[in-house]
Chains A and B, each alone.
Chain A
Amino acid sequence: MSDAKEEPRIGVFVCHCGHNIAGTVNVAAVAEMARHLPHVAFATDEMFMCSDAGQTLIKEKIKELNLNRVVVASCSPRMHEPTFRRVVEEADVNRYLFDQVNLREHVSWCHSREPEKATEKAKDLVRMSVARAAKLEYLPIKSVDVIPKTLVVGGGIAGLRASLDIAERGFDVILVEKDSQLGGNVAKWTHLFPSDESGAQVIGPLIHDVKKHKRIKILVNSKVSEFDGYIGNFGVTIKNQSTGKAHRYEVGTVIVSTGFEPFKPVGYYGYGTSPDIVTLAELQEMEPGKQLLKSSDGKPVKKIVFIGCVGSREPGKKGHEHCSRHCCSATAKAAGDLRDRVDEALVLYQDIRTYGKGHEEFHRLARQKHVIYSKFPQDGHPEVEVKNGKIKLRWFDVLGGVELQFEPDLLVLASAMIPPVDMDETAKMFSLTRSGDGFFNPEHIKLAPLTTHTAGVMIAGAAQAAKNASESVIDASGAAAKAVGLMAQGKVEIESTVSHVLPDICSSCHTCVTACPYGAIAMDEEHDPPVAIVTEAKCKGCGTCAAACPSSAIVMYHSTDEQILTMVEAYLCATPGLQGGGSV
């Protein structure tokens, strides 16, 4: 293990990133400059530092030259800081003695038309990083225990599946549902796709299995009222909404599967002005009898029209810009099924997005059954007029190039999937962020769709984005795997880049306690006088407290004042060894 007190011996590795950096920045010149900086024992440039060859080079040079600090000048640390931290650790250098410079996003990509200036900027950044590296300090690697129990929030198809998988794997689950019954949206639906089962047929067996599993504790009519703690050790208070009784539980991991709500499209296509204008979700809940009957007068429906993208795909309208993903296929399935019971069925659409397994087949089947598809323009939606109980529909058919009119007995609006009303409450409760569609942001949109920025809290199903039931089931099992992964290990590493209060300097003013956005600082009542104390597992290292502290009593490990000021100095003092201000 490197001793922080020994003389710094820094290795600098400048990455070409193929042509990504080297195409703009003169990487050889940057490495050459670095070679002459104080404490630098080695500097080079390489094709790909993240490749196996690059990683091996770092480890070899650490051993060969006894390096105790490493600087990699490559891409954003967002992706590869963990990679390089692991690499230096494998060569017995503490991970906090590594520093990364972003020459790609911060230099080559944004200054691609000015290669010379970009090279100068790259040199500045590397010089600053080397100066900081010399001041970096060894920090211990800490871990905390993981309580082997998962809280699942939301008892729809995703929550049920996740609970069952975790329980079958041998861990305990608390399943919380705000409704009086489990099953969520799927339970209400009659026309699930792509199979021929009804929602009840799908959800029934799942509920049955969940209810009889001894590892699953079900709390219906209940909501999470308080949530605190950190990965592996969350405290959660669950309140029964009918009795008002609250109970506190300790869990190690959380899966948020709070699903969606079908949008009630008031103001769209006459919705609300006639009982015969319904949403697709409401159609799903209508009696699946032999004859489809009008709600207004009980007469059979002979002519039915579906309109797609209701409250979806509206550029510029917050919360309604996204595609709701399930509706095209659900509409095709419903229209195809109902076609046998009506004389005419029409689907008005913008694009037909029957993308999934078997979905194109429903679409084809619906057309074979003479369901008529008519495309309307994005900037000219159909118009609806309700007169004397009659629905009159007018629209422009793009492919025929003609205005069309129709009088359906029943108008079905395929309305958007939107977040439930209490989404914001849930977001705040679990410190989750929401994207433009209103649903929760995953940790990474491509490679980490099930985890979130709150370590230990997973998302599954429609809580993450509009999706269908089958996709939600897959997510649920995946999120369960993430939770089980943490619990099976039993321990999880936490960051040491946290803040620390120097008790002798703390003036007990409470400023940091209120400033901390994560509730990580409290007053240590055992200390006399009481001073602020940081719960390290909850601290995200944001530095807000250190900036707010009027007594400079808070040290940010890994971003100490000295480490930051030395970078400023290195920037201003361009020539190494030169005292005072250099050329800027």
Chain B
Amino acid sequence: MTEKKQAALIVGGGVAGMQAALDIASQGFKVYLVERTPSIGGRMAQIDKTFPTLDCSACILTPKLSEVAHHKNITLLTYSEVGTVTGKSGDFRVRVRRKARFVKEDLCAGCGDCAAECPVEIPNEFDMNLGFRKAIYVGFPQATPNVYTVDKENCIDCGRCLKVCQRNAIDLEMKDKTMDLHVGAIIVATGFELFDVSQYPRLGYGHYANVIHAMEFERIINAAGPTHGHLVRLSDGKKPHSIGFIQCVGARDVQKGVPYCSRVCCMYSIKNAVMALEHYPDAEVWVYYADIRAFGKGFEEFYEMAKKRFGVKFVRGRVAEVMEGKNTGNLVVKVEDTESSKVRLIEHDMVVISPGVIPSEGMHTMATKMGIEQTDDGYVQIDHSFFGPILTKVPGVFVCGCADGPKDIPDSVSAGSAAAMKATIILSKGGV
């Protein structure tokens, strides 16, 4: 079968998986890109701005989304999951379950007539449940493919969408399908989840309305987000005049099972602190940290700018407790400023917790299917730091992005390209 064009499977449609797909496809090989959610784009699509250049995240991402969607060698399999994996390097057989989205991808034009008619409103996961979507929905305007999906758990089967759809694209009887793929190489790019910060009850998340986490903050300051980019408190819609950012929550904490550094939280918080001051130049913004890890290209310079030009205040200390004031919804942060050895109580209108990064949900199941090993922390075990930082212990299966540990965007992109290189070496040798 060497004459047949070899194909690769990529699991995960975030920025790392997309980059890997493009770099394989550009060499003329076929790529199947499997994504669990209805759209590719991953976490980067949710972020407002990126550090250290404050580029608008969605704006720099969308060209990649359309490039992936329109590439003739890439087959997008969104709303799909990997079932069984058998075979060996150069000759894998993979069964993919295509979940019923109840909308025919080839017919839907993404016009949105159905959503306008749908009477069910539920919190939108893409907006961290702060905004709303319908039971027939696309998560965000640039969703790729631009095809609606029916959320059957919340759909009331009223059939109104069926009536308004002029292309007859909706099929509420649709069933899950399976698809069998024959691929030479597999790339795992399953990304990450955020640590559940309610595991720290002392920080008040889930109890106090004005304690939010960083991804919620990203959606709030996003111009396409639930508040149209107006930075407001969730309790009363008021502008916050004082904001505190709490670092290392669900990171560098042995007791919570997350002993490692999450690598991105320092920078995304400094970026968010700067963004808060861009919104309200008179606000007071504090960051409570253990070490500031501004290690990447341009990061330290950005940290200096946040301190000097924007006046972000940095306090070295792990926050002991967040308390809510009576009636005001204001919060008091109790922290030991370790540089002066003083315990301080600092009042804020809003507190933003920076959650650490953990392996994506279902990582263990997937690792088992593919026979790849995991680290104690639950990430994919790489073969060797120097000889094979993108190789797994199974030949022909590669890993990139946050699937093998926290990474920022450029490091994920670089790893995506690297995984593509390794995969294409196998594909170019033909196969069985």
Nearest neighbor of A60 in chain B, beta-carbon distance:
B109
Contacting pair A435 B23 (CB below 8 A): no
- The answer to the question of A45 belonging to the interface, with a C-beta cut-off of 8 Å to chain B, is no
Distance of A536 Cα from B425 Cα, bound (Å)? 34
Q: Which residues of B contact A169 (CB under 8 A)?
A: 421, 424-425, 428
Q: A19-B224, A47-B141, A401-B341 are in contact. Are A445 and B301 (CB under 8 A)?
A: no
Q: Which residues of A contact B60 (CB under 8 A)?
A: 79, 444, 446-447
Distance of A450 Cα from B23 Cα, bound (Å)? 12
Contacting pair A322 B261 (CB below 8 A): no
Q: A56-B109, A481-B417 are in contact. Are A23 and B410 (CB under 8 A)?
A: no
Q: Which residues of B contact A55 (CB under 8 A)?
A: 66
Most buried by A among B62, B260, B386: B386
- Residue-wise, chain B 296-315 has the 8 Å CB interface mask toward A (1 for contact) of 11111100100010000000
Distance of A168 Cα from B427 Cα, bound (Å)? 11
Q: Which of A22-67 contact B (CB under 8 A)?
A: 23, 47-48, 50-53, 55-56
- The answer to the question of A188 belonging to the interface, with a C-beta cut-off of 8 Å to chain B, is no
Q: Which residues of A contact B404 (CB under 8 A)?
A: 357
Interface size class of B (residues with CB under 8 A): 35 or more
Give chain B nearest CB distance to A502 CB in angstroms. 36
Q: Which of A79-99 contact B (CB under 8 A)?
A: 79-80, 82-83, 86
One of A168, A195, A202, A361 near B425 (C-beta < 8 A): A168
- Residue-wise, chain B 324-335 has the 8 Å CB interface mask toward A (1 for contact) of 000000000000
Q: Which of A347-404 contact B (CB under 8 A)?
A: 351-361, 364, 377, 398-399, 401
Give chain A nearest CB distance to B281 CB in angstroms. 12
Give chain A nearest CB distance to B47 CB in angstroms. 10
Q: A50-B63, A79-B63 are in contact. Are A479 and B417 (CB under 8 A)?
A: yes
Contacting pair A482 B141 (CB below 8 A): no
- The answer to the question of A273 belonging to the interface, with a C-beta cut-off of 8 Å to chain B, is no
Nearest neighbor of A483 in chain B, beta-carbon distance:
B421
Most buried by B among A165, A464, A484: A484
- The answer to the question of B59 belonging to the interface, with a C-beta cut-off of 8 Å to chain A, is yes
- Residue-wise, chain B 198-231 has the 8 Å CB interface mask toward A (1 for contact) of 0000000000000000000000001110001100
Contacting pair B141 A449 (CB below 8 A): no
Contacting pair A437 B417 (CB below 8 A): no
Nearest neighbor of B427 in chain A, beta-carbon distance:
A169
- Residue-wise, chain A 467-493 has the 8 Å CB interface mask toward B (1 for contact) of 001110111111111101100110000
Give chain B nearest CB distance to A479 CB in angstroms. 7
- The answer to the question of B243 belonging to the interface, with a C-beta cut-off of 8 Å to chain A, is no
- The answer to the question of B411 belonging to the interface, with a C-beta cut-off of 8 Å to chain A, is yes
- Residue-wise, chain B 21-56 has the 8 Å CB interface mask toward A (1 for contact) of 001001110000000000000000000001011011
Give chain A nearest CB distance to B238 CB in angstroms. 19
- The answer to the question of A321 belonging to the interface, with a C-beta cut-off of 8 Å to chain B, is yes
- The answer to the question of B263 belonging to the interface, with a C-beta cut-off of 8 Å to chain A, is yes
Nearest neighbor of B379 in chain A, beta-carbon distance:
A357
- The answer to the question of B83 belonging to the interface, with a C-beta cut-off of 8 Å to chain A, is no
Q: Which residues of A contact B55 (CB under 8 A)?
A: 446
Give chain B nearest CB distance to A450 CB in angstroms. 6
- The answer to the question of A107 belonging to the interface, with a C-beta cut-off of 8 Å to chain B, is no
Nearest neighbor of B112 in chain A, beta-carbon distance:
A53
Distance of A464 Cα from B296 Cα, bound (Å)? 11
Contacting pair A202 B387 (CB below 8 A): yes
- The answer to the question of B191 belonging to the interface, with a C-beta cut-off of 8 Å to chain A, is no
Distance of A354 Cα from B248 Cα, bound (Å)? 13
- The answer to the question of A115 belonging to the interface, with a C-beta cut-off of 8 Å to chain B, is no
- The answer to the question of A275 belonging to the interface, with a C-beta cut-off of 8 Å to chain B, is no
- Residue-wise, chain B 387-400 has the 8 Å CB interface mask toward A (1 for contact) of 10110000000000
One of B26, B299, B414 near A449 (C-beta < 8 A): B414
**A-side interface residues, number (CB < 8 Å):** 86
- The answer to the question of B416 belonging to the interface, with a C-beta cut-off of 8 Å to chain A, is yes
Q: A352-B291, A436-B301 are in contact. Are A474 and B141 (CB under 8 A)?
A: no
Distance of A377 Cα from B338 Cα, bound (Å)? 12
- The answer to the question of A549 belonging to the interface, with a C-beta cut-off of 8 Å to chain B, is no
- The answer to the question of B340 belonging to the interface, with a C-beta cut-off of 8 Å to chain A, is yes
- The answer to the question of A18 belonging to the interface, with a C-beta cut-off of 8 Å to chain B, is yes
Distance of A321 Cα from B303 Cα, bound (Å)? 11
Most buried by B among A359, A447, A473, A481: A481
Give chain A nearest CB distance to B46 CB in angstroms. 13
Contacting pair A192 B413 (CB below 8 A): no
Distance of A333 Cα from B168 Cα, bound (Å)? 63
- The answer to the question of A191 belonging to the interface, with a C-beta cut-off of 8 Å to chain B, is no
**Number of inter-chain CB pairs below 8 Å:** 237
Q: Which residues of A contact B414 (CB under 8 A)?
A: 449-450, 474-475, 478
Contacting pair B300 A321 (CB below 8 A): yes
Q: Which residues of B contact A19 (CB under 8 A)?
A: 223-224, 228-229
- The answer to the question of A531 belonging to the interface, with a C-beta cut-off of 8 Å to chain B, is no
The segment from B118-126, B128-136, B142-150 that touches chain A is B142-150
Q: Which residues of B contact A464 (CB under 8 A)?
A: 297
Contacting pair A356 B263 (CB below 8 A): yes
Contacting pair B338 A399 (CB below 8 A): yes
Give chain B nearest CB distance to A452 CB in angstroms. 14
One of B252, B304, B409, B415 near A446 (C-beta < 8 A): B409
Contacting pair A322 B301 (CB below 8 A): yes
Contacting pair A435 B297 (CB below 8 A): yes
Give chain B nearest CB distance to A180 CB in angstroms. 23
Contacting pair A52 B295 (CB below 8 A): no
Distance of A312 Cα from B299 Cα, bound (Å)? 12
- The answer to the question of B339 belonging to the interface, with a C-beta cut-off of 8 Å to chain A, is yes
Nearest neighbor of A398 in chain B, beta-carbon distance:
B339
- The answer to the question of B69 belonging to the interface, with a C-beta cut-off of 8 Å to chain A, is yes
- The answer to the question of B294 belonging to the interface, with a C-beta cut-off of 8 Å to chain A, is yes
- The answer to the question of B115 belonging to the interface, with a C-beta cut-off of 8 Å to chain A, is no
Q: A18-B223, A79-B63, A477-B390 are in contact. Are A485 and B385 (CB under 8 A)?
A: no
- The answer to the question of B405 belonging to the interface, with a C-beta cut-off of 8 Å to chain A, is yes
Nearest neighbor of A471 in chain B, beta-carbon distance:
B411
Q: Which of A256-310 contact B (CB under 8 A)?
A: none
Contacting pair A20 B298 (CB below 8 A): no
Contacting pair B409 A447 (CB below 8 A): yes
Contacting pair B417 A482 (CB below 8 A): yes
Most buried by B among A20, A157, A398, A482: A20
- The answer to the question of B420 belonging to the interface, with a C-beta cut-off of 8 Å to chain A, is yes
Q: Which residues of B contact A484 (CB under 8 A)?
A: 27, 421, 424
Given contact pairs A19-B229, A79-B60, A313-B300, a sample of 12 additional A-B residue pairs in the complex whose CB atoms are under 8 Å apart: A18-B141, A50-B62, A165-B425, A321-B304, A325-B296, A447-B15, A474-B411, A476-B418, A478-B414, A481-B424, A484-B421, A489-B26
30 contacts between A and B (CB under 8 A): A19-B229, A23-B229, A48-B62, A48-B141, A51-B142, A52-B146, A79-B59, A83-B62, A86-B66, A86-B70, A169-B424, A322-B301, A323-B295, A323-B296, A357-B404, A359-B261, A360-B252, A361-B259, A399-B338, A435-B297, A436-B301, A437-B297, A439-B297, A442-B410, A445-B297, A464-B297, A473-B389, A474-B390, A477-B418, A477-B419
B residues whose Cβ falls under 8 Å from a Cβ of A: 15, 23, 26-28, 50, 52-53, 55-56, 59-64, 66, 69-70, 109-112, 141-146, 222-224, 228-229, 252, 259-261, 263, 291-301, 304, 308, 338-341, 379, 382, 384-387, 389-390, 404-405, 409-411, 413-422, 424-425, 428
User: Ordered nearest first, which 8 A-B pairs have the shortest CB separation?
Assistant: A18-B224, A478-B417, A52-B146, A477-B418, A465-B297, A481-B421, A19-B223, A488-B27
